[in-house]
Chains A and B, each alone.
Chain A
Amino acid sequence: MRSRHSRTPDGTAPRAERLPDPPARLWRSAEPGRSYDVVIVGAGGHGLATAYYLAAEHGIRDVAVLERGWLAGGNMARNTTIIRSNYLLDESAALYGHALDLWERWPAELDYDFLLSQRGVLNLVHTEQEVRDARRRAFANGLNGIDAEFVGPDEVAALCPILDVSPDRRYPVLGATWQARAGIAKHDHVAWALATRASELGVDLIEQCEVTGFVTDGERVTGVRTSRGDIAAGRVGLAAAGRTSELTDILGWRIPLQSHPLQALVSELLEPVHPCVVMSNHVHVYCSQAHKGELVLGAGIDSYNGYGQRGSVQVIERQLAAALELFPIFARAHVIRTWAGVVDVTPDASPIIGPTPFEGLYVNCGWGTGGFKATPAAGRVFAHTVATGSPHPLAEPYGWERFRTGALIDEHGAAAVAH
């Protein structure tokens, strides 16, 4: 297989794909109203997608999205933009598979080119046990209608020629799963697309408005307290990612979430050399090349709880060492920028979506390190849940009660890699 980024016949490198023009003012910046049918807390990808679907599919347009900082400045702005659906378990395959279907429809539906690039994802394996697990996952994917296959080292080399697949490496590449429909999308532009369409449909997007508590009537949530005054709401949907337990704690509701720093970094701009996305659980790094040319690298979470939006240096050291193990060609690339987000991790590494013990309050959280890829489905099923008061069928297994019934969706280790 030829690399998509190989040189043109006259020997020049092809131009990187052109970025969409930076937006002028795309959405209305709203002042907080006194009351709304629905208030969504958090203008990340999930909050914005939820508002969009509430308006577009449920005809609920009296909606506000409240954001403590700036629009989509949380994990939505900090993630490494990887989209895939090759999860092992049926519940996950259904949800992330739906998301990938929607990703493919979104550029036309939202009429916005956010550079969805289905360049394929390789999940490398380096041990015999990993080979078995990867094969199992590829077969399970096949049964769930997800395009994924197991490929050997030669095919890996053909898909990503800059990878070192020689057998004498410390962690030799024994194969990989390959999902061709997987890839990346320009995350900021996705947020701007959603904000634009939601705003056009009448949704109020309110920045610099932190939710600090709730207005309650017995066990019913009837509004939110914010840094800009109380706002009444028929229903409240939490899409606050890493800060969710700060809100649920106020209600005295302890929810199984732990917030951790998760970091990423980019190199300087390089010519297109890296044709797909490569992840390795074993040496724990993942890497793709952004449209503009930076290498984008991520690894695992820091072990401790943290809200500081910065992680530890040793994680970066290990991830760079792992990257060089796989891609010796990167030895002279410079790290330009590192940053971190705050991700909310659940005990079974699957999200929590659904009604809460409080009438009128719904929660979408616990996406941990992997919620960007789910954005369209998360928004769609959460909008359904908020609009109808009962979970969307795809979200049904994801209620918080599963930690009491034992019906966990244990994707820890079952999924290909953290993200």
Chain B
Amino acid sequence: MLLIPCPWCGNRDEVEFRYGGQAQVPYPVDPTSLDDAAWADYLFVRDNHCGSYAERWVHADGCRRWFDVVRDTATNEFAP
């Protein structure tokens, strides 16, 4: 069970959150110019490494806000 640091509520139990996957994946600036390969990358491909990972969570059963955190995917430790 993760203890997730909500920037507004502090450390809260994982059951209060929903996961949003990799953080900082911007919507394409000029969507109409994307070819199939670029669309596939945007839609389907996310980083998936072992180690430090920037990701999104929403505090669904709390303040209901989205935020980014950095977690180590091997140790589950959150970066300060």
Contact = CB atoms under 8 A, between A and B. Distances in A.
A308 B19 CA distance: 17
A99 B49 CA distance: 31
Interface in A365-412: 403-406
B73 A314 contact: no
Given A245-B48, A312-B2, A314-B14, A305 B55 contact: yes
Contact of A249 (B15, B49, B73, B74): B49
A143 interface: no
A347 B44 contact: yes
13 contacts: A243-B50, A249-B48, A254-B47, A255-B45, A256-B40, A258-B48, A259-B48, A304-B2, A306-B76, A314-B1, A344-B48, A403-B45, A406-B36
B19 A254 contact: no
A406 to B, nearest CB: 8
A211 to B, nearest CB: 14
A304 B48 CA distance: 11
A303 B50 CA distance: 16
Nearest to A306: B73
A203 B78 CA distance: 43
Given A258-B46, A259-B48, A404-B36, A308 B14 contact: no
Contacts of A254: 41, 45, 47
Contacts of A19: none
A257 interface: yes
A307 interface: yes
Interface residues of B, number: 26
Nearest to A243: B50
Nearest to B17: A303
A318 to B, nearest CB: 10
A344 B76 CA distance: 18
Contacts of B48: 245, 249, 257-259, 305, 344
**7 nearest A-B residue pairs (beta carbon):** A303-B19, A245-B48, A256-B44, A307-B50, A404-B40, A313-B1, A347-B44
Given A306-B73, A312-B14, A314-B14, A245 B49 contact: yes
A366 B53 CA distance: 20
B48 to A, nearest CB: 4
Interface residues of A, number: 25
B23 to A, nearest CB: 12
Given A246-B49, A347-B44, 18 more contacts: A246-B50, A254-B47, A256-B44, A257-B48, A259-B73, A304-B2, A304-B73, A305-B53, A305-B73, A306-B73, A306-B74, A307-B74, A312-B1, A312-B2, A314-B15, A344-B48, A403-B44, A404-B40
B18 interface: yes
Contacts of B15: 314
A305 B76 CA distance: 10
B33 interface: no
Contacts of B73: 259, 304-308
B9 interface: no
A254 B41 CA distance: 8
Interface string A107-141: 00000000000000000000000000000000000
Interface string B29-40: 000000011001
B24 interface: no
B50 to A, nearest CB: 4
A254 B47 CA distance: 8
Interface in A302-354: 303-308, 312-314, 344, 347
Interface in B35-72: 36-37, 40-41, 43-50, 53, 55, 71
Nearest to A404: B40
Interface in A19-58: none
B21 to A, nearest CB: 8
A249 B73 CA distance: 16
Interface string A94-112: 0000000000000000000
Contact of A304 (B19, B45, B49): B19
A314 B2 CA distance: 10
A257 B50 CA distance: 13
A31 to B, nearest CB: 28
Contacts of A404: 36-37, 40
B12 to A, nearest CB: 13
A104 B28 CA distance: 49
